[in-house]
Amino acid sequence: MRRERFDKMNVVPFIDIVLVLLVIVLATATFVENRALKVDLPTASSKKSEEKKNIQIAVNKEGVYSYEKEVLGLDLIKERLMKLDPKKDLISLRMDKSSEFRYFVDIIDILKTKGFENISIITKQ
């Protein structure tokens, strides 16, 4: 039995694989692009504006709390947070990196008690 010399490489199977992969990529790319539907909403006479508040709470390294750039105690912050809607309003926390962890826990405990869903912790890059 004689072996033939390997002079040429058959590239047809490789072309088939590349074409199948190209079809898969193109099919998934079109689904990702068409995910959002464009809808022209009708108008109504009884229009209710939905106000979403973005509340900024900051704590410095000494444990001084600030609610919307106003220095307040923890009890006043809790009182103001209890008046907000936990499903709509966004709470942004800014904590000093050298502040004690208990200040963070105090704010999170208040937010958890009320059931806030939209909480962000602001950091720098």
CATH 3.30.420 fits 54-122, yes or no: yes
Reported as a single tens digit per residue, the pLDDT across 9-40 is 888 888 999 999 999 888 877 554 444 545 55
Give the mean pLDDT of 38-66: 73
Look at residue 48 in the predicted model and tell me its pLDDT. Answer: 58
- Evaluate whether 117 touches 79 at the Cβ level (below 8 Å): no
Give the mean pLDDT of 40-55: 66
- Evaluate whether 82 touches 114 at the Cβ level (below 8 Å): yes
More confident residue, 50 or 80: 80
- Evaluate whether 18 touches 25 at the Cβ level (below 8 Å): no
Look at residue 61 in the predicted model and tell me its pLDDT. Answer: 81
* Two tokens, residue 56: 């900024």
Reported as a single tens digit per residue, the pLDDT across 68-111 is 888 889 899 899 888 888 888 888 888 888 888 898 899 999 88
Domain ranges of the chain: 54-122
